[in-house]
A = this chain, B = another copy of it.
Amino acid sequence: MSESAGRMPERQETLATPMRAFVGLERIASVAPYRFGESIYFQDQPADCWYSILRGAARECAVNEDGRRQIVDFLLPGDVFGFSNGEARGLAAEIIAEPALVACYPRHRAEALAEADATIGRGIRKLAFESIERLQRRALLLGCNSAMQKVSAFLLEMAMRCGSISHEPIALPMTRYDIADYLALRVETVSRTLSALCRQGAIALVGTRRVRIIDHRRLAAPGTKFTRLPPAQQQCCA
């Protein structure tokens, strides 16, 4: 890995605030450190626990028969995940940025608490609804038809979720491969599109894993085109 092998850039280093990380369930949480590449749970494993990322980042993904990996969600500090009715999960969760700290909430105990304490119950519903909204946004993102729109929407989403201050560069804890699997594109396309955005002056790449968003408008604009070869009039990014 070209940039600090899976180590989380500083902007992400903040621990999730206790409030976001499951009010009232602290007492049944078991917190564990994870290393880069470790799995929090596996595909087709029983869904006994809910989880939340306290530090680091993870991906929720599936590998289908033809070996292609699909990433359904990136999980950042504060995100709660692993909700399921079924006995087995269809997805695996893996750490992509260390040092990572993950809280685990045994499902039956959590459900019992939710039923005993109305506040906790409400909190859990709220978190589940957050998952739903994140997944809906993701569906909208995947529904974009051009690579340009997908990558732009992805950058804006990451900026929003990282709570970045307007012109601070946002940290991407994932590789280009991860982004490609998330957007249902090829690595090459992701790379080319980022380069194009850079040439157009919409973003600036700080190293490979940080992006400074320069022109929010242009990113949000639907008509943004690829423009494979602009006759080199705008200066490229550093």
Contacts and interface: CB of A to CB of B under 8 A. Distances in A.
Interface of A: 62, 64-66, 68, 70, 72-73, 83-86, 90-91, 111, 114-116, 118, 121-122, 124-126, 128-133, 135-140, 142-145, 181, 184, 222-223
A202 B121 CA distance: 46
A74 B132 CA distance: 15
A122 B111 contact: yes
A122 to B, nearest CB: 6
A115 B64 CA distance: 40
Nearest to A128: B128
- Between A72, A73, A84, A181, the greatest number of chain B beta carbons within 10 A of the residue's beta carbon is seen for A72
- How many copies make up the complex? 2
13 contacts: A68-B222, A85-B126, A85-B129, A90-B137, A114-B122, A115-B118, A115-B122, A128-B129, A128-B132, A131-B132, A138-B139, A143-B184, A144-B184
A133 B222 contact: no
Contacts of A70: 139-140, 143
Contacts of A184: 142-145
Given A111-B122, A131-B132, 16 more contacts: A62-B140, A66-B222, A68-B145, A83-B129, A83-B132, A84-B132, A114-B125, A121-B121, A121-B125, A124-B125, A128-B128, A128-B129, A135-B136, A142-B184, A143-B181, A145-B184
Contacts of A86: 133
Nearest to A116: B118
A131 B72 CA distance: 15
A62 B144 CA distance: 12
Contacts of A145: 68, 184
B132 A132 contact: yes
Contacts of A85: 126, 129-130, 133
